[in-house]
Amino acid sequence: MIENILNQMTLEEQVSLLAGADFWTTVPVERLGIPKIKVTDGPNGARGAGSLVAGVKATCFPVAIALGATWNPELVKRMGVSLAGQAKSKGASVLLAPTVNIHRSGLNGRNFECYSEDPLLTASLAVAYIQGVQSGGVAATIKHFAGNESEIERQTMSSDIDERSLREIYLLPFEQAVKKAGVMAVMSSYNRLNGTYTSEHPWLLTDVLRKEWGFDGIVMSDWFGSHSTADTVNAGLDLEMPGPSRDRGEKLVKAVHDGEVKAETVRDAARRILTLLERVGALETAPDLAESSLDLPEDRALIRQIGAEGAVLLKNEGILPLARTSLDSIAVVGPNAGVARVMGGGSAQIAAHYTVSPLQGIRAALSDANSVHHAAGCSNNRLVEVFAGDIEVEYFTGRALEGTPVHTERADKGEFFWFDLPSPDLDPANFSARITGKFVPSDSGEHIFGMTNAGLAKLSIDGKLVVNGYDGWTRGDNYFGTANSEQRQGLELEAGRSYTLTIDYCSPADTADGIHLTAIRFGVEKALGDAAIDEAVARAADCDVALVFVGREGQWDSEGLDLPDMRLPGRQEELIEKVAAVNANTVVVLQTGGPVEMPWLDKVQAVLQIWYTGQELGNAVADVLFGDAEPGGRLPQTFPKSLSDNSAITGNPLVYPGQDGHVRYDEGVFVGYRHHDSHGVEPLFPFGFGLGYTQFSWGEAKASSTVLGEDGITVTVDVTNTGARKGADVVQLYVRPLASAVLRPEKELRAFAKLELAAGETATATLTVTLRDLSFFDVAAKAFRSEAGNYELLIAANAADIRSRIAIVNPAEWLGHVTDPLSEGHSHRSEPGHAQ
């Protein structure tokens, strides 16, 4: 069928398939019955074609690091199945997820959007996610291929990574997604890899992805992430996004006629696009692109379950779980207590059906909501609190706010991200808008107004210019680097008085290469000072227990920028210490997209890391705090004692954050726990760590053999729940080479199993080790090499808690070719001393 269609297509029609029609859809060829299909952002929901901050409501699932903390591929697969239904509700056939870049520095703005520092854990969860999504007839898109471990200058930065590290750490999740899950789409990253943009990297896209791994799906660019015509097509980039095309269309037709691109290369790419349409059923039935809101009770329950399974109990001096009957009063304080921080920022954002804050969840879990006393204490937002209230928006043609508005609409939030403008008469490159609203402060005193804009804007109060985002505008760190840094100005306001806010906005005149967006965000807040901390401390002093909800929010953990450090922003550390000084029963609940330093750790009774757990946040955290659910998570990323303990933070800017357009991965394969183990750097909390509410007893690990053969070795461990309640434990298997011709990590995760056991129940964890699990990548041989010799299998509860050791022998050297399937692999063995 596909070959027949291709035979009927003109060169121009084939070329038309190789770029988007607009931001979210592909180009149809109506003459031949080829429909357009829609793609939608994930990975913690399906947003559809709406803006990042509006649009049709969608189900908001936990972020990827929370999934990583579950160590539960089957649970992640169930989420993938649900996401396929969510994508279809938005008329989408392709979900732009999962994100599988590696937790390298601890500061990556998209750390929350990735699973783990470990490639095996990442790969296992990604495979499950993809299988779930694609079982529902929706294509998954694994991203970002490859080397996108930082947001700093990500559109131009070259990630300089040696091939061994690439193969062992950064490419493994992609390899498994292709070979095990049959992923249908891959998205290239913005950055360069060893000097070449990944969107035009023949070695990456053709030699490795297609020829070695056998990938037969499509490769698409990240949005505005392609930079050429012939180079991208020849390298293997099938789809330029978004549309309309900038580098293809007539330019590509001309490149074929000029001999820069072969006609067969275009035909091959068009074939892959048509194959994708066939796989998602679009060639049989043209998809309905209409969007609807799908809010299912089973999705709500699943989100709540994932939230608990991914919650990591880092410390507990016996205070958790809280006993409802013995508590007369609870202080719920902190900047993340009364606000539902349910997701990170950037392209992962969606308009959730609803959100439940921790304060709401705790009050709902108690029979007497009056026993809960709340105070924010301090703030932690990076940007001024967004304006909320009735807003009128008038749109004009041209950039001068002249003439009669071509469209007028109402809104309730001071943030606009215009993927699509509300009238066909408006040109994204040549329009303006006047935004008007009323603000009535509840308290007198200085209020801070803030605004950031992709485009030019001025904010006035009662006709007086207050924030100037027009004169001297320069690109900053908002909206993926297309907006200026937030401009702020203080103003004394009177309580109860109505003030008129007016924002005059015009679209960007900047036509430089890169991402082109039109967006604005403005807000106002009364700064919290000493009085707010004093109020929170007073509330805590009078209560039986103090729950302090701290962390970050989606303006810190966000695409487009990295974190400045690993400390809690604002005065949160001060708040924790002052609350702990007046209440001996202080519990800290953390919401971050990655590790934080904890200088206050010894002063509190318990620490619970809950990440960003989606729309059921408050209910999930209440389930864990009151013991209705087990905190089932284990850390997917090492928490260092200090930022300087991280392998990428060496003091050399070339290693991080980058210098002169290059960031050099000098640590090689020694990322995360591999670095801490091998260099003797004690972490604050090790990789794989997590406490629970029950106790487990492990039997001695047993191996099917001590000699590794073609079929591998199977290790079994009996685990018994010796406590009084149901719980879950994770058995982790690491491989340790006793000698090697190359420098290798002390140990590496090679298998894991999560067991959920009732009180008194015993179950067996079964773990398999293969020849490739013993290997390192031999660059000269272009193969994974398992040296003959002695190894240890380490059975552990986490990277620092080894429970059993099994000595094994690999009797003969083995080479695993890059083309081998992962499930069994062809063996290429030689006797010791006869290297092949």
Q: What is the DSSP letter of 637?
A: S
Q: State how far the Cα of 517 lies from the Cα of 417, in Å rounded to an integer.
A: 8
Is residue 121 within 8 Å of residue 71, measured between CB atoms? yes
Q: State how far the Cα of 729 lies from the Cα of 742, in Å rounded to an integer.
A: 34
Residue 514: its pLDDT value, please? Answer: 62
Is residue 832 within 8 Å of residue 813, measured between CB atoms? yes
Question: And the tokens for 802?
Answer: 């080894």
| Burial track 507-531 (b if 16+ CB lie within 10 A, e otherwise) | bbeeeeebbbbbbbbbbbbbebeee
Strand ranges of the sheet holding 813-817, from the earlier edge strand across to the other edge = 776-778, 783-786, 813-817, 829-830
821 has pLDDT over 90: no
Show contacts of 819-827: CB within 8 Å, 24+ apart: 819/211, 819/212, 819/213, 819/214, 821/179, 822/175, 822/176, 822/179, 822/180, 822/772, 823/179, 823/180, 825/770, 825/771, 825/772, 827/710, 827/771
- Bridge partners, 142 (sequence order): 186
- Candidates 700, 749, 698, 695; CA nearest to 726 is 695
Q: State how far the Cα of 729 lies from the Cα of 757, in Å rounded to an integer.
A: 8
Helix (H) or strand (E) holding 829: strand 829-830
Q: State how far the Cα of 134 lies from the Cα of 118, in Å rounded to an integer.
A: 24
Residue 511: its pLDDT value, please? Answer: 52
Using alpha carbons, list the distances in angstroms from residue 247 to 230, 255, 261, 761, 821: 9, 11, 13, 62, 36
Q: How many CA atoms lie within 13 A of 289 on its CB side?
A: 13
C-alpha 295, offset from chain centre? 22
**31-76: per-residue pLDDT in tens?**
999 999 999 998 999 999 877 777 899 999 999 999 999 999 999 9
Residue 510: its pLDDT value, please? Answer: 60
Which segment of 378-382, 525-529, 662-666, 739-743 scores lowest on mean pLDDT? Answer: 525-529
Q: State how far the Cα of 303 lies from the Cα of 61, in Å rounded to an integer.
A: 6
- Looking up tokens 């750390």 gives 111
Is residue 227 within 8 Å of residue 155, measured between CB atoms? no
From 41, 118, 160, 222, active-site residue: 222
Question: And the tokens for 629?
Answer: 């659910």
Strand ranges of the sheet holding 727-737, from the earlier edge strand across to the other edge = 748-757, 727-737, 789-798, 801-810
Q: How many CA atoms lie within 13 A of 456 on its CB side?
A: 15
Q: State how far the Cα of 833 lies from the Cα of 731, in Å rounded to an integer.
A: 36
**231-269: per-residue pLDDT in tens?**
999 999 999 999 999 999 999 999 999 999 999 999 999
Find the length of the chain. Answer: 836
Q: Is 74 exposed, middle or buried (0-12, 13-18, 19+ CB in 10 A)?
A: exposed
The secondary structure of 168-228 as a DSSP string is IIISHHHHHHHHTT--SEEEE-SSEETTEEGGG-HIIIIIIIIIIT---SEEEPPTT----
229 has pLDDT over 80: yes
Residue 403 has a CB neighbour count (10 Å cut-off) of 9
Residue 55: its pLDDT value, please? Answer: 80
Helix (H) or strand (E) holding 735: strand 727-737
Which segment of 508-517, 585-594, 655-664 scores lowest on mean pLDDT? Answer: 508-517
Strand, helix or coil at 797?
Answer: strand
Residue 513's pLDDT band, with cuts at 50, 70 and 90, is: low
Q: State how far the Cα of 495 lies from the Cα of 503, in Å rounded to an integer.
A: 22
512 has pLDDT over 60: no
Is residue 113 within 8 Å of residue 66, measured between CB atoms? no
Contacts of 221 (CB under 8 A, 6+ apart): 187, 188, 199, 232, 237, 239, 240, 241
**174-195: per-residue pLDDT in tens?**
999 999 999 999 999 999 999 9
Residue 697: its pLDDT value, please? Answer: 98
Q: Is 662 exposed, middle or buried (0-12, 13-18, 19+ CB in 10 A)?
A: middle
825 has pLDDT over 70: no
Q: Is 428 exposed, middle or buried (0-12, 13-18, 19+ CB in 10 A)?
A: middle
**674-715: per-residue pLDDT in tens?**
999 999 999 999 999 999 999 999 999 999 999 999 999 999
812 has pLDDT over 90: yes
Residue 480: its pLDDT value, please? Answer: 86
> What is the percentage of the chain residues whose pLDDT exceeds 90?
92
Residue 503: its pLDDT value, please? Answer: 97
Q: State how far the Cα of 355 lies from the Cα of 615, in Å rounded to an integer.
A: 4
- Bridge partners, 756 (sequence order): 728
The domains found in the chain, sorted by start residue, are: 2-279 (3.20.20.300), 388-525 (2.60.120.260), 694-830 (2.60.40.10)
pLDDT higher for 586 or 516? 586
Question: Strands (DSSP E) along 512-605, which ranges?
Answer: 519-525, 545-551, 586-591
Q: State how far the Cα of 151 lies from the Cα of 148, in Å rounded to an integer.
A: 7
What is the overall mean pLDDT for the chain?
95
- Candidates 827, 787, 784, 789; CA nearest to 808 is 789
User: How close are the terminal C-alpha atoms of the chain, in Å?
Assistant: 45
Q: State how far the Cα of 284 lies from the Cα of 273, in Å rounded to an integer.
A: 15
- Bridge partners, 796 (sequence order): 732, 802
Where on the phi/psi map is residue 576: left (φ > 0), alpha (ψ -120 to 50), or beta?
Answer: alpha
Write down the H helix ranges in 52-190. Answer: 64-70, 73-89, 119-135, 163-165, 172-179
Strand, helix or coil at 657?
Answer: coil
> What is the percentage of the chain residues whose pLDDT exceeds 70?
98
**545-590: per-residue pLDDT in tens?**
999 999 999 999 999 999 999 999 999 999 999 999 999 999 999 9
Helix (H) or strand (E) holding 579: helix 572-582
Angle between helices 263-279 and 250-257 in degrees, nearest 10:
140
Letter for the amino acid at 515? I
User: Average pLDDT for residues 389-414, to the nearest whole number?
Assistant: 95
Residue 369's pLDDT band, with cuts at 50, 70 and 90, is: confident
- Bridge partners, 581 (sequence order): none
Using alpha carbons, list the distances in angstroms from residue 443 to 191, 497, 499, 527, 563: 47, 10, 13, 11, 32
Q: State how far the Cα of 141 lies from the Cα of 114, in Å rounded to an integer.
A: 14
- Bridge partners, 438 (sequence order): 500
Is residue 774 within 8 Å of residue 762, measured between CB atoms? no
Is residue 273 within 8 Å of residue 34, measured between CB atoms? no
Residue 408 has a CB neighbour count (10 Å cut-off) of 12
Residue 824's pLDDT band, with cuts at 50, 70 and 90, is: very low
Q: Is 728 exposed, middle or buried (0-12, 13-18, 19+ CB in 10 A)?
A: buried
**403-420: per-residue pLDDT in tens?**
999 999 999 999 998 888
Question: Strands (DSSP E) along 455-518, which ranges?
Answer: 456-461, 464-469, 487-493, 499-506
Residue 510 annotated to the active site? no
